[in-house]
Amino acid sequence: MSGTHLSRRSVEQLLQGMDRGEFSGAELTEACVARVREADAALQAFVEVFDEPVAASSGGRLSGIPYATKANIAVVGRELTCCSRILKGYVSPFDATVTARLREAGATLLGVTNMDEFAMGSSTENSHGGPSRNPWHADAVPGGSSGGSAAAVAAGMVPFALGSDTGGSVRQPAAFCGVVGLKPTYGRVSRFGLVAFASSLDQVGPLTRNVRDAALVYSALAGHDPRDATTMDRPVGDVLAEIEGGPAGLRVGIPRALVSEGVDADVRADFEATCEQLRKAGAQLVDVDLPAAKAAVATYYVLCTAEASSNLARYDGIRYGHRAQAQDGAQEQSLVDMTCATRTEGFGAEVKRRIVLGTFVLSAEYAEAYYNKASQVRTLLRREFDAAFETCDVIATPTSPTPAFLRGEKAADPLAMYLGDVYTVSANLTGLPALSVPTACNEAGLPLAIHLTAPAMQEGILLRAGRAVEHVRGFDEDRWTLMEKSS
Ligand code: GLN
């Protein structure tokens, strides 16, 4: 049994291997930990690898499968930092519902992955613990904010990982690292125990090596939770049952105006190639119009900062983590001074920028012009998507207008970083389910990906379309050969 061999298999293949008695869950965990030790010094995908992996009862549908979780998802008795200095030393007194569900499903938690502080960013460069790297290219970012989770799955350290997605943080790093990323319909997966960034947009989702695995992990995560009043009390359905439905008869909507401008040439050519191959395989390509999507990035950055400024008000130096010490040997400090010093020391630059922006857009003088206006655009956008879905089953765009960029390339230019979210934020603003599927690599050896959005609660058709993309592009089979060539 070779560790490298195991680290390339999908969740489904690993479950079959254990069923056949080829290896045990304990051996698999050992192989993954060995792979982390070998690869993570260079990648920094993990912020913590547990000495004792958190194993669970056996017999569940993910029995014996190792995974990693993002640093903003609560695990009882473990540090929960969101890769922020302000939460240093804060230990979670409870499990997030997703953590508990994976425990019940029998998965083994190996450790915690790196992320942009409080999930604010697209490159994992905003982590208090330092950046992660892209396994395909030493100088490229892995994307963000779930960059550590994406790098860990891509590099064969774990067969799947959890991420959170507020504006693309599961799907964009998945695209940059050549893995699959799913953001479920808002309300499908519980947010209980996910540290809130923007509560009306946040959703937990899996990063996996293929679409079938995304379906498998999603099935373990999804469902009503009395601890999150925004979860839906509706049957999740068997998404694996329809996943092999294939491209024939699938109506794929393409918002032409959105995909023709400001897109990297390789990304655009690859997107056209995927659509064309889907068409040849029997799918029908339909033009759709989403005029409000042009305003989606602006809308998103008004709403997410507004919600963040309110959600992050709780980090006051009293209840959680870091507290600033009194200055110059003083015995005491006032509450205001202490809170102010704690927040000044504890938050990084991007988080402060968002708190300031969010406070501004909510202020009495400006709420009408910004927050209220953005809320209206959000409604408009949802209506446009609903109308588009009258003529198609899924809507396709690239996941990101560029492949993974170089470290430092956008770090000094927040607007350039924000504009990269153009294709992902609409799914959060509308609540719709969306999926990123890798398609190929460009000449520099960087992965490219397609992004699919489906009507609310139609994860079944979304995953079927994603599986169809795998069929026509074959990246799923080629991944490891391509990766060896590029590194
Ligand atoms: N890149 C986006 C942002 O910085 C999305 C982040 C996310 O989904 N958590 O807000």
Mutation probe of ligand 1 site: the residue of 126, 169, 353, 429 with most atoms within 8 A of C-beta = 169
Residue having the nearest C-alpha atom to atom 4 of ligand 1: 121
Residue 165: CB within 6 Å of ligand 1?
yes
What are 483's two structure tokens? 């990766």
State the distance from the centre of ligand 1 to the C-alpha of 303, rounded, in angstroms. 12
The pLDDT, as a whole number, for residue 321 is: 86
Alpha-carbon distance 98 to 112, whole Å?
A: 14
Res. 397: pLDDT tops 90: yes
The pLDDT, as a whole number, for residue 310 is: 97
Residue 123: CB within 6 Å of ligand 1?
no
State the distance from the centre of ligand 1 to the C-alpha of 274, rounded, in angstroms. 26
State the distance from the centre of ligand 1 to the C-alpha of 198, rounded, in angstroms. 10
pLDDT digits (tens, 9 = 90+) for 204-223: 999 999 999 999 999 999 99
State the distance from the centre of ligand 1 to the C-alpha of 175, rounded, in angstroms. 14
Residue ranges and CATH numbers for the domains of the chain are 3-256+387-486 (3.90.1300.10)
Residue 120: CB within 6 Å of ligand 1?
yes
- Closest approach atom of ligand 1 to CA 121: 4
Residue 167: CB within 6 Å of ligand 1?
yes
The pLDDT, as a whole number, for residue 57 is: 67
Mutation probe of ligand 1 site: the residue of 113, 120, 424 with most atoms within 8 A of C-beta = 120
pTM flag (> 0.85) = yes
Residue having the nearest C-alpha atom to atom 10 of ligand 1: 120
For 70, the 3-state DSSP assignment is strand
The pLDDT, as a whole number, for residue 385 is: 98
Q: Sheet harboring 108-113: ordered strands across?
A: 46-54, 108-113, 66-70, 160-165, 203-208, 180-183, 434-441, 447-453, 394-398, 251-254, 284-287
The pLDDT, as a whole number, for residue 1 is: 43
Residue 119: CB within 6 Å of ligand 1?
yes
- Closest by CA to 263, choosing from 435, 68, 450, 137, is 450
Average pLDDT on 259-263 reads 91
pLDDT digits (tens, 9 = 90+) for 315-351: 999 988 899 988 777 778 899 999 999 999 999 999 9
Residue 83: CB within 6 Å of ligand 1?
no
Residue 147: CB within 6 Å of ligand 1?
no
First-to-last C-alpha distance (Å) of the chain? 25
The pLDDT, as a whole number, for residue 280 is: 98
Residue 421: CB within 6 Å of ligand 1?
yes
Mutation probe of ligand 1 site: the residue of 118, 304, 307 with most atoms within 8 A of C-beta = 304
* Lookup result for tokens 């473990």: 78
Residue 134: CB within 6 Å of ligand 1?
no
Q: Using DSSP bridges, classify how beta strands 434-441 and 180-183 pair: parallel, antiparallel or unpaired.
A: antiparallel
pLDDT digits (tens, 9 = 90+) for 21-72: 999 999 999 999 999 999 999 999 999 999 888 877 677 999 999 999 999 9
Residue having the nearest C-alpha atom to atom 5 of ligand 1: 167
Q: Is-contact 259 225, C-beta < 8 A?
A: no
Average pLDDT on 275-290 reads 98
State the distance from the centre of ligand 1 to the C-alpha of 126, rounded, in angstroms. 11
Residue 145: CB within 6 Å of ligand 1?
yes
- Closest by CA to 70, choosing from 85, 52, 84, is 84
pLDDT digits (tens, 9 = 90+) for 456-474: 999 999 999 999 999 999 9
pLDDT digits (tens, 9 = 90+) for 104-148: 999 999 999 999 999 999 999 999 999 999 999 999 999 999 999
Residue 122: CB within 6 Å of ligand 1?
yes
Alpha-carbon distance 67 to 54, whole Å?
A: 10
pLDDT digits (tens, 9 = 90+) for 369-378: 999 999 999 9
- In the chain, what percentage of residues exceed pLDDT 90? 91
The pLDDT, as a whole number, for residue 119 is: 98
Q: Which amino acids are annotated catalytic? A: 70, 145, 169
- Closest approach atom of ligand 1 to CA 146: 9
Res. 387: pLDDT tops 90: yes
Res. 4: pLDDT tops 70: no
Alpha-carbon distance 109 to 102, whole Å?
A: 9
State the distance from the centre of ligand 1 to the C-alpha of 320, rounded, in angstroms. 23
How far does Cα 86 stand from its chain's mean position?
22
- Closest approach atom of ligand 1 to CA 164: 9
The pLDDT, as a whole number, for residue 426 is: 98
Residue 399: CB within 6 Å of ligand 1?
no
Alpha-carbon distance 404 to 266, whole Å?
A: 12
Q: What are phi and psi of 3, to 5 degrees?
A: -60, -40
State the distance from the centre of ligand 1 to the C-alpha of 331, rounded, in angstroms. 41
Residues 6+ apart with CB under 8 A from 250: 278, 282, 283, 284, 393, 394, 461, 464, 465, 468
